[in-house]
Amino acid sequence: MLVDYVKLQLDLLVAPAELAMTRLGGQFLGRIAPVSARKLPVITLPGFLSTGKSAFTRMNEFLDQQGFKTRTWGLGRNRGLPRGSDWNRNLDEIERFMADRIRALADECSAPVSLVGHSLGGVYARELALRMESEIDRVIMLGSPTFHPYRTDRHNKIIQGFSYWVNRQRAEEFGGRGGLVHWSPDRPALPCVAIHSPLDGFVDENACHIPGYIVAQCGQKAPRENIRVLASHIGMTVNSLVWLAVADRLLTDRNNWLPFDPRSYFPKHMHPFLRLWYPSADELWQDRGASAFVEMNQ
């Protein structure tokens, strides 16, 4: 519990520094980041207990500046799973509200909508993509749980306790036995990107990446990609390194999907620093026997 407390405090301390760095480097980021030639639609979904405005205002402004057309999810504060509800019923209600919002923005821009979700908002984005494949272009998740609900390394224990106090249900129980797996090489049949960080003090990074055996099996119609970025959990929505990755992935051709390469945006003398900002994650892709774990528990 002490370790989890320290992780939580460090996350809370790092986030303001990320915001300050983004403010200082805003003009530079705007110059190097990709620009959309047309108003591609994007809807952002906040994390647990956050609102679309508080969490995504700055990222949405950046994306609008780069030529996108962004909207928040429109449901106010993300309160998680309401007491007395269940996972599927909660998703039904979210889909019922957001379906019209998604279709209206898609019609306005004459293009399918991309979903960018932070933490629990990323989980909702992925589940909506399963239900609305024809209206969704791609999903980008920031520090979102992507793996089996019965893993014990999913959340910071303090966050787990707080979540239970709010919802009277453990986070790993939200989805029932089928839970948060919902990963296959071809469903949903659209690009899904998981952005995660070794500094995340809320959700264990090992639970935030798409399992390597799924990535290895995916094809061009449903690419799966993991991007490791140096960021806190809270600070992901205000971190300029994350913004650059999000903008790049939003503009990547889904029919010719190529891995994210930050070197194309920075001068050569800065490339050594990119190894620190976007660290390698080869050890995560081994999944620590995750495939066998899933098969055993399904």
Percent of the chain topping pLDDT 90? 53
* Residue 219: predicted pLDDT: 86
Note the pLDDT of residue 6: 67
pTM to 2 decimals? 0.88
What pLDDT sits at residue 293? 44
Domain ranges of the chain: 2-297
Summarised one tens digit per residue, pLDDT across range 86-112 is 777 888 999 999 999 999 999 999 999
Reported as a single tens digit per residue, the pLDDT across 211-256 is: 888 888 888 889 999 999 999 999 999 999 999 999 999 999 999 9
Give pLDDT, residue 298: 43
- CATH fit for domain 2-297, picks 3.40.640.10, 3.60.21.10, 3.40.50.1820, 3.30.43.10: 3.40.50.1820
Which residue ranges in the chain fall short of pLDDT 50? 149-150, 156, 165, 168, 175-179, 289-298
Task: Say what the pLDDT of residue 3 is.
Answer: 64
- Which pLDDT value is given to residue 133? 93
| One-letter amino acid for residue 21 of the chain | M
